[in-house]
Structure 1
Amino acid sequence: MTTRSPHPVAMSEESLQHPRSLAAFRSTKLLVGCYLALSVLTLVAIALLRSDTALVNDAVWIRGSIVVASASLMFVCALQSARGSRRSYRRLRIISGVMVAAIAAIVALPDAFPLWMKIEQGVCGLLLIGVLLIVNGRQLRGVFAAR
């Protein structure tokens, strides 16, 4: 039977500073930053278009707010992961996967969301697929592998 160590294993500074790791972290922060910026702009658009019920309904308000919150959390996780936080790396992997699945459901649902929001969510989904590919790739999994 294996037992977990009560203290996290120290991460190699060398693995964090490896050129491929730095490039992966840089790309992840860029993609998540774009996701956050697009999400905030979408929430601003929702507020500006609030009087048009064909373009902005309750589902749009709720989804827009959730996306900004998740994007903010993901951005913090991306920054902390680049500094070596295993917990933030794990959260980034989970949240990005959950959000891609949620976006796929939103795009597939008929009539729940207006076309403009489905298109915006599709763009967000593409950004997050890039994040998923990077954070689940060999380089970063190796950096954060328990030793």
Structure 2
Amino acid sequence: METTQHGTSGTTRLPLPASRAQAALTSARRCVVLFGALGCVALAGVAAVAGTGHPVNTFMWVRAVLLPLVALVVHRTAAAAARGSHRAFDRLRTLSAVLPVAIVGVDLIPGVCPPWYAAAQTVCVLPVAAVAYLTRRPALRAAFPAPGKG
């Protein structure tokens, strides 16, 4: 696959065919939108729990606010990958692998958050795990070969 340089940022853009690679990136973007929507639902849940007088700690508020914002950043990264940015694709692969582990891992630390919140956060990052899977499939590996291999 032929690569070209654009601008001075050093971002390599690959011409992506309207094929399985584009379909996989479209699915990945939809998963990120779902991640953001679930994050908003989790934020509303935290607000509802706090509104009923139950304890909600600072960690829960910060995490509930940050995850929808993180979804926006990941979505922009997925959109750039869909336009052919190899750099954005690498970032998307990395973020989609790290986010679920980091989010669930922190939630499992005893005393950080109640079990219901850890479960809600786990459900929120399931679509991100799907993105990690999609970005490692053959169609996208072929569309974005490792540097020096394509």
Q: TM-score range by the shorter chain?
A: 0.7 to 0.9
For 1:71 and 1:117, locate their aligned partners in 2 and report how far apart those are by CA, in whole Å.
18
1:15-34 equivalences in 2 (<5 Å):
17-18=18-19, 20-34=20-34
Residue in 2 that maps onto 1:86: 86
Residue in 2 that maps onto 1:64: 64
Is the CA contact (8 Å cut-off) linking 1:81 and 1:89 kept in structure 2? yes
6, 12, 19: which one pairs with 2:15?
A: 12
For structure 1, the residue ranges without an aligned partner over 5 or more in a row are none
Deviation, 1:69, is 2.0
For 1:10 and 1:113, locate their aligned partners in 2 and report how far apart those are by CA, in whole Å.
42
Q: Does 1:139 align with 2:142?
A: no
Identity of aligned residues (%): 27
Q: Which has the higher helix share?
A: 1
For structure 2, the residue ranges without an aligned partner over 5 or more in a row are none
Deviation, 1:134, is 0.6
TM-aligned CA distance change 1:120 to 1:143, over 3 Å = same
Residue in 2 that maps onto 1:98: 98
Give the aligned length. 139
Which portions of structure 1, spanning 4 or more consecutive aligned residues, are displaced by more than 6 angstroms? Answer: none
TM-score (norm: length of structure 1): 0.81
TM-score (norm: length of structure 2): 0.79
Q: CA RMSD in A?
A: 2.2
